Amino acid sequence: MVDFFHEANELFEYTRSMRRDFHRHPELGYHEFRTAGIVARELTSLGMEVTTGVGKTGVVGLLEGSKPGPTLLIRFDMDALPIVEETGAEYASENTGVMHACGHDAHTSIGLTVARLLNTHKEDINGRVKFMFQPAEEGLGGAEGMIKDGILENPRPDYALSLHVWNNKPLGWLGISKGYIMAAAEEFYVVIKGKGGHGAIPNLAVDPVVASAQIISALQSVVSRNVPPVETAVLSVTAIHGGDAFNVIPPQVEFRGTIRTFKPEVRAVVLERFQQINQGIAASLGCQAEIQLIPSTPALFNADAVTEKVQQIARLAPGVQIDTTFSTMGSEDMAFVMDRIPGCYFMVGSANQETGKNAPHHHPKFDIDEASLPIAAGLMASSAVNILNNGI
């Protein structure tokens, strides 16, 4: 079998220069015109069939192996964040106010490297690889847009792979777990409506501040009292607004936040209790609760058989530690793909404390140890061939 880890190291200069170029020129979701242009150019130069404008700014490349076989989708996201970069790196953002602070610049360059690696060995590949370069992962629905535009049809992928560089863990760490690894996420917006009045005459008002305080306290019981102790959920109220004077009871209070769950049955319990607590307490205190629950992403589930294939390959990688228990309550829109196609999403440790490249994701000082790039590309290319040629 080809040593893709070795070959990815040989392409390191290419991967790093692409990554630094994307880092210098970050683009927000659905504005990845320059990035998508470079991706399309690079894939076309390899002789791939390339489609642009998929889900607005997404790019799809199809790499045909020499023998018949299954179709594997590999997904990389391309968008940046509205953050003013403070890394001071020589390759820092030249687009002030926009920054690759999640590592999607790394993902795009890893994707292009994987395309090169697999293209070199396409004579030895069964089936085909569908490259999905996705826009707008950061809460803007990029994956759904590409699904609507047909990424999962003609040909329909049999399996899917994706990855994320992970700065919460050091270089050399690989998170490859079966089962739920990222959460289903919902946003909520609640308006507690009472009746405004004088702060000194509360008996003539209906106070939404007191009702909101009790609701938010009671919501803490959902995870502690309603979710089975061996399961996982998060319910965070992250913003609250109401009133603006010391002597006025406001007519309403608004609060918002997020709910995260893994299993559908836990999600159902949390959402039901969320509604009951809001409505019940509001009503008992003479208020009304207007609740808006907006589903954001489903939970991300790693299929056993596909994940075992990736774990198998990771054990061949030099100098890595494999964590098979990793999961996070973060969310990821690759879940829309993996809801439909069995796959594996793995994390590649990218932090380096000694060089100060260990700021968390979405931080103005976020930067990665670029030695993570060939590990990621080697593992992805090698896993792809393992799945296509050896079956699941």
Binding site for Ni ion (CB under 5 A): 102
CB of 104 to Ni ion, least distance (A): 6
CA–CA gap between residue 31 and residue 33 (Å, rounded): 5
| CB of 209 or CB of 368, closer to Ni ion | 368
CB of 357 to Ni ion, least distance (A): 16
CB of 27 to Ni ion, least distance (A): 15
CB of 137 to Ni ion, least distance (A): 6
CA–CA gap between residue 40 and residue 54 (Å, rounded): 12
| CB of 102 or CB of 351, closer to Ni ion | 102
| CB of 118 or CB of 165, closer to Ni ion | 165
Sign of CA dihedral 19, 312, 320, 328: positive
CB of 171 to Ni ion, least distance (A): 18
CA–CA gap between residue 162 and residue 333 (Å, rounded): 11
Judged by phi (left if over 0) then psi (alpha if -120 to 50, else beta), residue 26 lies in beta
CB of 208 to Ni ion, least distance (A): 37
CA–CA gap between residue 193 and residue 205 (Å, rounded): 11
Quickly count: other Cβ atoms within 10 Å of residue 320's Cβ. Answer: 18
Residues near 317 by beta carbon (within 8 Å), at least 6 away in sequence: 5, 174, 375, 378, 379
| CB of 60 or CB of 101, closer to Ni ion | 101
| CB of 250 or CB of 349, closer to Ni ion | 349
Q: Which residue has its beta carbon closest to Ni ion?
A: 102
| CB of 134 or CB of 252, closer to Ni ion | 134
- What single string gives the DSSP state of each residue in 133-190? EES-TTTS-HHHHHHHTTTTSSSPPSEEEEEEEEEEEETTEEE--SEEEE-EEEEEEE
